[in-house]
Structure 1
Amino acid sequence: MKKSIMAVAALSMFTGIAHAQSSVTLYGIVDEGLTYNSNAGGSRLYNLVSGGLQNSRWGLRGTEDLGGGVTASFRLENGFNLSNGALSQANSGSTQGLMFGRQAWVGLGNRFGTLTIGRQYDSVVDYLGPLEVGDQWGGSVTAHPGDVDNFNNTGRVNNSIKFASTSYQGFSFSGLYSLGGIAGNFSSNQIWSLGGGYAKGPLTAAVGYLNVRSPNLSLYGNNGASTPATAAGNFFTSPVSSGFASAHTMQVIGAGGAYTFGIATIGATYSNTKFLSLGNVSSGPNTLKYSGSATFNDVEVNAKFQVTPALVLGAAMNYMKGDAVSSSSTLNNGAKYLQGSVGADYFLSQRTDLYFIGTYQKASGTKSTGGDAVAAITGLTPSTSNRQGLLRVGIRHKF
């Protein structure tokens, strides 16, 4: 009798597990466009480019109801180049891409929020990214110059622990901490961020903070356990900021908002980005012998018009100013970048759309690597002059 009771209990337990509600979804985006660059290293360039409105990707996401209001979830997301099939996100010090370079995490959630661990997006990306034009109708080429504030998600965070709350009457918040993974130095390469926002009715507003130790390694090296030997070349390839690879700390403070009335949505963002304690060669090279800090202030104003259910038109202006930087080998008065963008997006269906993007940038002052500032639209080969223009037409399909 005792054996029979135990067998029934065991069978009931496994039956409960078998009937736990769970789901796994395969999803993705394929995006390809024809691009014209007015000055790519001194010459005009016509080429096909993967990822116009959104970078091409595929992923798996899943949830399981564990009972008692607790849910397990995961996401594995791969980025790839549709033009040649290559993986997109490079590993530290290597041209080899990461299998799940966009996201890779697992976590538990309840009615208060979700706790996740793995490779994730920081709170600035989560809250302020959707308010800048690059995450709307413009794509990465309309992002802030060099994406110095990471609003457009150039750098993702490894080895991270993150909590994201549920929405309370439109209010939500999140916090992230990344362990540097360096033996004997707990704070080395660490990353932490905080963010919060309000989204209800026609109004959206958000704030965010990001603090990164040794950004050349921890955020842009794509490997929290990188060593100084792999530092060169990990930081932004854009001349807007690549000269500041020796920063001990990167700090971003940002805010933004948007309001919708009728067919129009008007928005604005602001960010203050600092590369602190320049000259820390354990983080990256310091060719121009910088010291002190480099500061960028960026302001964007954007507008989006839902002309018809199928047609979206957009326009944006962005101004970024870099302050003077101390150097023992050259004078750097900082750089200024003025950028305008327009776009149109026409939906053939809920999953397929055709789009157009136009961006023009003018630079002045001194670039981070020394010398006269050159125009450098995000994601493109920089110009050899202070001006650069881009036109792109493309197609995007979601599945």
Structure 2
Amino acid sequence: MKKLLFAFSVSSLVMGTASAQSSVTLYGIVTGNVTYSNNSQTAATSASGKPKGGAQVAQLDSGSSGLASSRWGLKGIEDLGGGVKAVFQLENGFSVNNGALGQGGAEFGRQAWVGVNANRYGTFTLGRQGDAAVEFVSPLLYGWYWGNLAIHPADYDNLNFTHRINNTIKYLSDSYSGLRFGAVYSLGGVAGNVTQNQFWSGGASYTGGAFAIAASIINARNPNASLYGTNPNASATGNNIGSAGSATGAESNPAIAGFASANTQQTVSVAATYTAGGAIFGAAYSNTQFRGLGANSSLNTQHYTGSAVLSTISASLRYQLTPFLRFGTSFDYTDGRATTGKEGAKYEQFNLGAAYSLSKATDLYVTGAFQHASGTDSLGRPAVAAIGYLTPSATSKQVAVSAGIKHLF
């Protein structure tokens, strides 16, 4: 990635202390694309009780359904001596369509943290950051091949970094012969109950030659607040996971919206890749359990008890055909197990993607996805297809294609 580097040196600090070297790097991604979907809801219910819609939709967005969403950020580092460095990162998400802020209107909603890199002892940071799944497992999954259409239903495992974690303490180790590990802990911030909204996560990865493997676990107490409710526009009492829609509005995240009353969400993910020449073969598995359903009775519209489980198995192939052209394909199968005696939802999705590099910084790309849903979703309704961050389909099937341009700086 080509970066614009502002470097400056401080000849001496106040009170005559020793000199230090500092640098700040400005970086970003600007993406614009047109996305076509063959079927989108206009309302979640009708007189027949079925979703309304079915119309074709074409829309311009800022990469939210393309290869990567638009962002800009600042990274800073200061040498404190003895191999110790102060570090920080601020990252803003935005729309190229209208300049609006992403992540619910947060100025630095993608990331905002500061910390210390202690050389071989690793890096300690404080702030708004990603969890261990994002740090270790995600890099083996998506890359620059399929984009945001390929996320697992509603990104329930957060492997596409939909949700940031506030108030975190994070540790990442250095690499020891290809082995890295780390952990994240978020303070709940609820007076009188230390664990009410706490979040913790841990993970590790190993890269050796052509083989790479990573695993992670996340545990969110009261996930409606600690995981899904971390943006400025989140509700203190309402459902932050999704919506059942209405006779005038479409559903949102129907795969998991009905599980907002859970006491705890726990997700385990693992991924592995093998590189052979220009090809990368990949496999992954993730499992999420929404435990203690009904803990928040006001959000338990389906009167659930016990636990609900979603798991996805994935297989993928990525290939660098020429120095300028790459393509990839993947298949995901998601199984939603029954809760309180009800059948769960199943989602089968096939993804394709290709990109052509005009330069080291600029790509033209096209991605596509087909999803078929069956069974009963979290809202107790016949499952409908819902690809990426698009409006759900009115039926069990949905096709989407996105084409655009991505520029790095």
Amino acid at match of 2:122: G
- Within 2, Cα distance between the matches of 1:79 and 1:64? 25
Match of 2:61 in 1: 49
Describe how 1:282-321 pairs up with structure 2 within 5 A.
285-321=299-335
- Within 1, Cα distance between the matches of 2:101 and 2:316? 32
**1:47-80 residue CA offsets vs partner (Å, 9 max, x unmatched):** 1011111110011110000001100000000001
Report whether the alignment pairs 1:234 with 2:240: yes
Report whether the alignment pairs 1:195 with 2:203: yes
Match of 1:128 in 2: 137
**1:304-335 residue CA offsets vs partner (Å, 9 max, x unmatched):** 00000111110000000000011xxxx63000
- Within 2, Cα distance between the matches of 1:276 and 1:362? 27
Structure 2 CA distance for partners of 1:15 and 1:25, relative to 1, 3 Å: farther
8 Å contact 2:357–2:363 — kept in the other structure? yes
**1:361-399 residue CA offsets vs partner (Å, 9 max, x unmatched):** 000000111110000112000001000000111000011
- Within 2, Cα distance between the matches of 1:298 and 1:16? 59
Match of 2:245 in 1: none
Residue 147 of structure 1 and its aligned partner are, at CA, apart by 0.9
Seq. identity, %: 49
Residue 17 of structure 1 and its aligned partner are, at CA, apart by 5.2
Structure 2 CA distance for partners of 1:12 and 1:108, relative to 1, 3 Å: closer
Structure 2 CA distance for partners of 1:384 and 1:19, relative to 1, 3 Å: same
Describe how 1:1-399 pairs up with structure 2 within 5 A.
14=14, 19-41=19-41, 42=53, 43-51=55-63, 52-90=66-104, 97-111=105-119, 112-133=121-142, 135-222=143-230, 230-236=236-242, 237-281=252-296, 285-326=299-340, 332-399=342-409
Structure 2 CA distance for partners of 1:67 and 1:322, relative to 1, 3 Å: same
Q: Secondary structure at the match of 1:290?
A: coil
8 Å contact 2:331–2:350 — kept in the other structure? yes
Structure 2 CA distance for partners of 1:364 and 1:339, relative to 1, 3 Å: same
- Within 2, Cα distance between the matches of 1:291 and 1:86? 40
8 Å contact 1:356–1:391 — kept in the other structure? yes
8 Å contact 2:12–2:18 — kept in the other structure? no
Residue 233 of structure 1 and its aligned partner are, at CA, apart by 3.2
Structure 1 spans left out of the alignment, 5+ residues: 1-10, 91-96
Residue 35 of structure 1 and its aligned partner are, at CA, apart by 0.6
- Within 2, Cα distance between the matches of 1:271 and 1:292? 20
CA RMSD of aligned residues (A): 1.8
Alignment coverage as a number of residue pairs: 375
Residue 232 of structure 1 and its aligned partner are, at CA, apart by 1.7
8 Å contact 1:130–1:136 — kept in the other structure? no
Residue 253 of structure 1 and its aligned partner are, at CA, apart by 0.7
- Within 2, Cα distance between the matches of 1:230 and 1:322? 28
Residue 162 of structure 1 and its aligned partner are, at CA, apart by 0.3
Match of 2:5 in 1: none
8 Å contact 2:32–2:60 — kept in the other structure? yes
8 Å contact 2:312–2:335 — kept in the other structure? yes
Q: Secondary structure at the match of 1:73?
A: strand
User: Runs (4+) of structure 1 moved beyond 3 Å?
Assistant: 11-19
- The TM-score, its normalising length taken from structure 2, stands at 0.89
Residue 13 of structure 1 and its aligned partner are, at CA, apart by 6.2
Choose 11-20 or 136-145, whichever is displaced more: 11-20
